[in-house]
């Protein structure tokens, strides 16, 4: 039985981690960390957990937590994990960081986009970017996992095969992303009030969103050259779900079948990436509550571009589900353990 | 392994049955019945099932289905189950009817409220009303289960203990109910279009909704006298969830603790009914995707009434989840098998 | 041209007042008060007003405002208007208070339900309760208007005729109310975040909501005896709209036509109350953005009760629209000036 | 007083035309055409019009209508207007066609994208594309107006100035559009049911949507060369609103101020196009219910692209509002008559 501790258990990603780990046969939660609610019953914060979780919220003591847990999830704002992690902790427990602290290999890029000083740059090199479908083998042996961002997970998986196989020109990639509001977190801000989000859609962080360099770095590995792209997120009036619509110029004439074969080559054996049938566009509702990413594409012969689409649940594959997938790999379990939820529709 | 067949597998309740049975370790689906989509791939109708369900939709041949299945779920409009069921079928398979055909013991009441002729009145007496928390023992030995309606499930469970213990005057009961739109089914009607339901709320079926006599009958058993009440459903712009707000006059002065003790007496050991802490009102989001019913109450000393509240997911405890709970009882399994989903929040 | 000043212009009710007064031919706004945003451009807070409103936000200086304005609207939390109003102000400008400070004639009831000390009890007697359809004549000559609460407006108008004419027993009245989220204001609270409200419904303030004594007082005037009733509000995932479903026992056998005649007697000539055709239930979407209240009723011969329903836009007839209607009466204008917006659908 | 007739008055665009014309001082509606509801009271279909509209629905007799009306609006599916219009009608009444029949100058392009035979190609040349901000002068003298599509209106206005001034390379334009569900019409289709749209987002018509050639034609006029581009619409869970996010490569280094000056040059004097302040992204809620289009842009120096954004209400500026704007021009009225509604927020 894997003993799991969560720091940041009362955010939306933390709450989803609790839901998933409660349904995981090989894991138990030993620490519900939440600095804001220390000593309060966890189920009084998340009433869906009433009579399911008895525990009280704990503080952020990662040293103490490392004594009690086999794995520590940090579902906290940028900077916290880097400020706490150390050799003692890493020697005792695996750390899966859901923040951005260890996702970017270039500390200067991190500090420029996140506007904070990195507190533990010495672990950046060691940390493994936990996008299981691409880094599976390296994840298995890691101590510190940088769990990918929600947008980067969906964007990278939607675009990766065509970049890797050279079918698209990386300098032409444009990613237009749409996200449900849970991605904005549970902080009480006017912008995220029901009446401000409902019946509304807007772009935000245009040409400056922090997930941009993360997507660029991952696609850069695939391309073999640095990638610079446009990424525009939008806020959609729904709780969960991310949809990616990506555009790029084809490098040569290709048929539907050729492109489909490339996607299948990468994802045919993947448990959580589904390449949809021809002409079926991904919809976020079809993956809600599950760890799936649904992808598909459409070739436009008129413009010689391909439109790549991906849909997933931002709190599952985009956060807690992928974190559990990483945990499974770290502990030698079947990768899908505790993650075989059928999507909830409607 | 229980072999399960579903007639009406492409309605919302049918789709939810598929989701739940796929996660049930002791059951497998052998028949995806859907007259409208015969021979089409089930996953082409419900794309969330892509790569999860391979089967094609079958017709409504209940005789043939009884040969192949141990249990038959009919998630179909009123009248269908009654028109198909017969001794041969019941001798071979258990039947769990999610329609109203066998819920009312008085065939005249059925025919008056549903405006159709009952095709199999000879099975009404035998059929067991499948509200597990109340009829558990009788369910175990049944051949034909009348799976309760969504509103009646939530209404009855919210009010039952106080009627049964004589704390409220049954002639004063008023039930004001609010439901998500999945309760209206998947039929293409103008009234259920997104733009007609979104940003809107309305009452419907006022003083005439068909679930009224079902609630009255069940509460009548508890009261020991016939009960006549007001039941008013409302359509709420959300997919899932039913909230019941019920009002009744107290028969004597009671304290919070006394009423709480009555609820606890009935539900303390129940797996799927949660009596919430004092002053915490049930919310539909806290039970979404799960088989729970959350109930609570508030005494109003000014009016000498008690306000009783209940929340549940109409497609789970209000339809498919309760049907699986009944199946578990019919086949001697632990009642919660396949139903231990943690509610999905947000 | 009536010079209007608004204190609290950046709340949702204040914003709606701005929208309505901008479309009012006989009024102009001279003061956009908002303590939180002093000196900021109003259109930078409400971007819908970009290029429409040039003004900056001002502070709460009601003395100064009385010099500049003919009418002052206070769309502020309880207590503010009572703490500022005085003889000098009332001698120079009409005051329309959208808070509860002057709605209840018994100061003890106010202090008990609102848990604050009333700062200007000497004006309670003089203040006129601004429910135009009932107090029209007294409003015309007033200096200080207590603009009714949103729930009380819809509740009172839906129930008033039958109480007044003695067709229902006041001691049996139960009001089950449902409101969009704008009624909760623009304050940044976790409970009002999109993800907490969306796909959710709950009751709140059960047996204790502050609008209860306001409704009781108004219906008490109609009944000629004190009225004590149950009022239960619910939060619905939509921006605007209030729906009232009220229940009461009939005092005698009455036909549809008789009850309809009573509603018509009171509302036939009213510009903003529409008694709907038989069997058509009010829907909030049908009045959105307008000053209408749609009402209807259904007799239930089985229980000898009548179900009364009302729908309106909580920010228009429930707040800003009614305030403008009061202003029109105070200044001798046609009551519907600036209020003839057709409801927006869908 | 302009006498207006509407064919297709019970669709969402038709209903919005009714709302706007009822608030227009110089126009009156003389014909509520709706083949599906002939002889039924219009207010029984759109209950928001109860006690506002007394008329009954009429059939599609355009010849007869031309006798009674000064202007005929056709808010009908493709093909109907072209099948009915003739010289007699055009000699008696102005025709404003909200369908696509006369938007494309090349009849072959029309027939290829719409898959129907054009019934009146002889009027294509004469018809004026009613995008008022661009074709104002030609509209004034027209007999037949092709009212622009919703997506093309928002797309063209957002991108037009930079194409016209040569700041962007037309061959690099990519338009990613998001629309509320009213754009899909009021037809009863499963795909548009509340439960299918709510909590969901998807792309549709990828690389094949019919509005593509319309946008290309209009931007081609601006560019002086044929334009081929990518256009991808998405269905968003909201009633109203279109948001455009457009991408293109800059043809030279430009500053924010230079690009802003170009937008201002085209829109500074426009009543219904608002160029937002720096770094403020358009939001659909800020224009809801109004005839405004809010536009803005962001230069990305990293990719040397510009991101152009536009938001509007698809039923107002994207349909009925623009039709009224065209009517005003046709009849020599102030262009903003009846269109000065302040956006409704929230």
Cβ–Cβ < 8 Å for C72, C47: no
Phi, psi of A240 (to 5 degrees): -125, 155
| Span C124-145, pLDDT tens digits | 999 999 999 999 999 999 999 9
Check residue B51 and report its DSSP letter: T
Q: Taking CB atoms and an 8 Å limit, are D178 and A178 in contact across chains? A: yes
Strands B144-146 and B128-129 come out as: parallel
CA distance D164 to C98: 51
Q: Taking CB atoms and an 8 Å limit, are D288 and A229 in contact across chains? A: no
Whole-number percent of chain D with pLDDT over 90? 100
Q: Which of C12, C51, C340 sits opposite D346 (nearest CB)?
A: C12
| Span A224-233, pLDDT tens digits | 999 999 999 9
Establish how many alpha carbons lie within 13 A of residue D225's alpha carbon, considering only the half-sphere containing its beta carbon: 7
Structure tokens at D318: 């994207």
pLDDT score at B332: 98
Catalytic residue among D57, D81, D150, D154: D150
pLDDT score at B4: 98
CA distance C345 to C221: 36
| Span D257-281, pLDDT tens digits | 999 999 999 999 999 999 999 999 9
CA distance C283 to C25: 30
| Span D215-254, pLDDT tens digits | 999 999 999 999 999 999 999 999 999 999 999 999 999 9
pLDDT score at D271: 98
Q: Taking CB atoms and an 8 Å limit, are A193 and C186 in contact across chains? A: yes
| Span D277-310, pLDDT tens digits | 999 999 999 999 999 999 999 999 999 999 999 9
pLDDT score at B306: 98
Q: How confident is the model at residue B98 (pLDDT cuts 50, 70, 90)?
A: very high
One-character DSSP codes across A117-169: --S-GGGTTT-EE--HHHHHHHHHT-SEEEPPPHHHHHHHHHHHHHHHTT-B-
Q: Taking CB atoms and an 8 Å limit, are A181 and C189 in contact across chains? A: no
Q: In whole angstroms, what separates CA D146 from the centre of its chain?
A: 10
Check residue D160 and report its DSSP letter: H
Closest CA to A130 of A92, A156, A165, A109: A156
Residues near B245 by Cβ (< 8 Å), separated by ≥ 6?
A: B175, B176, B177, B178, B307, B308, B309, C176, C203, C232, C234
Structure tokens at C60: 């709460």
pLDDT score at A247: 98
Q: How confident is the model at residue B97 (pLDDT cuts 50, 70, 90)?
A: very high
Within 8 A of B245 by CB-CB distance, chain C residues are 176, 203, 232, 234
CA distance C123 to C115: 19
Q: How confident is the model at residue B177 (pLDDT cuts 50, 70, 90)?
A: very high
Which residues of D sit within 8 Å Cβ distance of C? 12, 15, 18-19, 22-23, 44, 46-52, 182, 198-199, 239-240, 274, 276-277, 280, 283, 285-290, 294, 340-346
Cβ–Cβ < 8 Å for B225, B201: no
Q: Which of D192, D199, D238 sits opposite B193 (nearest CB)?
A: D192
Count Cβ atoms within 10 A of the Cβ of residue B109 and give its class: 0-12 exposed, 13-18 middle, 19 or more buried: middle
State which residue of chain D sits closest to B236, comparing Cα positions. Answer: D194
CA distance C47 to C316: 20
Q: How confident is the model at residue C180 (pLDDT cuts 50, 70, 90)?
A: very high
Please state the ipTM of this predicted complex: 0.97
Establish how many alpha carbons lie within 13 A of residue B326's alpha carbon, considering only the half-sphere containing its beta carbon: 34
Sign (positive or negative) of CA dihedral B272, B278, B284, B286: negative
The model carries a pTM of 0.98
Across chain B, mean pLDDT equals 98
Cis preceding linkage at C139, omega within 30: no
Catalytic residue among C150, C154, C195, C281: C150
Whole-number percent of chain B with pLDDT over 90? 100
Q: Which of B236, B238, B303 sits opposite C229 (nearest CB)?
A: B303
| Span A184-197, pLDDT tens digits | 999 999 999 999 99
Strands B305-312 and B174-179 come out as: unpaired
Within 8 A of B190 by CB-CB distance, chain D residues are 186, 188
Closest CA to C83 of C91, C71, C92, C95: C95
Q: Which of A50, A340, A344 sits opposite B274 (nearest CB)?
A: A50
First to last CA, chain A: 34
Structure tokens at B101: 């055909």
pLDDT score at B200: 98
pLDDT score at D241: 98
pLDDT score at D277: 98
Q: Taking CB atoms and an 8 Å limit, are A23 and B342 in contact across chains? A: yes
Residues near D221 by Cβ (< 8 Å), separated by ≥ 6?
A: none
| Span A142-170, pLDDT tens digits | 999 999 999 999 999 999 999 999 999 99
Give the residue-averaged pLDDT of B237-250.
98
CA distance D283 to D264: 20
**Alpha-carbon gap: A230 to the closest alpha carbon of chain C (Å):** 26
Q: How confident is the model at residue D157 (pLDDT cuts 50, 70, 90)?
A: very high
Q: Taking CB atoms and an 8 Å limit, are D299 and A200 in contact across chains? A: no
Q: Please tell me which chains touch A, using 3 or more CB pairs under 8 Å as the contact test.
A: B, C, D
| Span B142-158, pLDDT tens digits | 999 999 999 999 999 99
Cβ–Cβ < 8 Å for C166, C259: no
Mutation choice for D interface testing from C48, C241, C320 by most D CBs within 10 A: C48
| Span A80-115, pLDDT tens digits | 999 999 999 999 999 999 999 999 999 999 999 999
Spell out the per-residue pLDDT of chain A, length 346, in tens: 999 999 999 999 999 999 999 999 999 999 999 999 999 999 999 999 999 999 999 999 999 999 999 999 999 999 999 999 999 999 999 999 999 999 999 999 999 999 999 999 999 999 999 999 999 999 999 999 999 999 999 999 999 999 999 999 999 999 999 999 999 999 999 999 999 999 999 999 999 999 999 999 999 999 999 999 999 999 999 999 999 999 999 999 999 999 999 999 999 999 999 999 999 999 999 999 999 999 999 999 999 999 999 999 999 999 999 999 999 999 999 999 999 999 999 9
Structure tokens at D157: 């206005």
Q: How confident is the model at residue C71 (pLDDT cuts 50, 70, 90)?
A: very high
Q: Taking CB atoms and an 8 Å limit, are A200 and D309 in contact across chains? A: no
pLDDT score at C195: 98
pLDDT score at D246: 98
The residue ranges of DSSP E strands in C154-304, in sequence order, are 174-179, 202-203, 230-235, 242-249, 273-275, 293-300
Across chain D, mean pLDDT equals 98
């Amino acid at each position: 039985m894997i003993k799991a501790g969560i720091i940041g258990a009362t955010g939306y990603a933390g709450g989803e981690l609790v839901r998933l780990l409660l349904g995981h046969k090989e894991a138990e939660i030993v620490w519900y960390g939440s600095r804001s609610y220390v000593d309060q019953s966890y189920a009084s914060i998340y009433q869906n957990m009433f009579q399911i979780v008895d525990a009280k919220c704990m503080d952020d003591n990662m040293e103490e937590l490392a004594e009690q847990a086999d794995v520590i999830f940090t579902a906290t704002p940028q900077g916290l994990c880097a400020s706490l992690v150390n050799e003692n902790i890493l020697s005792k427990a695996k750390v899966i960081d859901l923040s951005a602290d260890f996702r970017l290999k270039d500390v200067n890029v991190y500090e420029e986009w996140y506007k904070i000083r990195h507190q533990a740059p010495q672990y950046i090199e060691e940390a493994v970017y936990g996008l299981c479908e691409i880094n599976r083998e390296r994840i298995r042996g890691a101590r510190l996992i940088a769990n990918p961002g929600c947008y980067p997970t969906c964007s990278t998986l939607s675009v990766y095969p065509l970049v890797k196989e050279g079918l698209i020109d990386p300098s032409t990639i444009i990613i237009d992303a749409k996200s449900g509001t849970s991605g904005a977190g549970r902080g009480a801000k006017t912008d995220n009030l029901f009446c401000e989000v409902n019946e509304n859609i807007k772009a935000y962080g245009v040409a400056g969103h922090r997930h941009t360099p993360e997507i660029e770095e991952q696609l850069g590995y695939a391309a073999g050259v640095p990638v610079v792209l446009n990424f525009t997120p939008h806020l959609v009036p729904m709780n969960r779900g991310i949809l990616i619509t990506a555009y790029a110029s084809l490098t040569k004439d290709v048929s539907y079948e050729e492109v489909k074969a490339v996607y299948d080559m990468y994802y045919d054996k993947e448990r959580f990436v589904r390449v949809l049938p021809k002409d079926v566009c991904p919809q976020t509702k079809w993956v809600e509550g599950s760890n799936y990413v649904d992808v598909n594409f459409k070739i436009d012969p008129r413009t010689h571009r391909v439109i790549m689409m991906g849909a997933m649940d931002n709190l599952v594959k985009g956060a807690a589900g992928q974190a559990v997938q990483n945990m499974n790999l770290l502990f030698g379990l079947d990768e899908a353990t505790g993650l075989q939820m059928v999507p909830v529709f409607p």
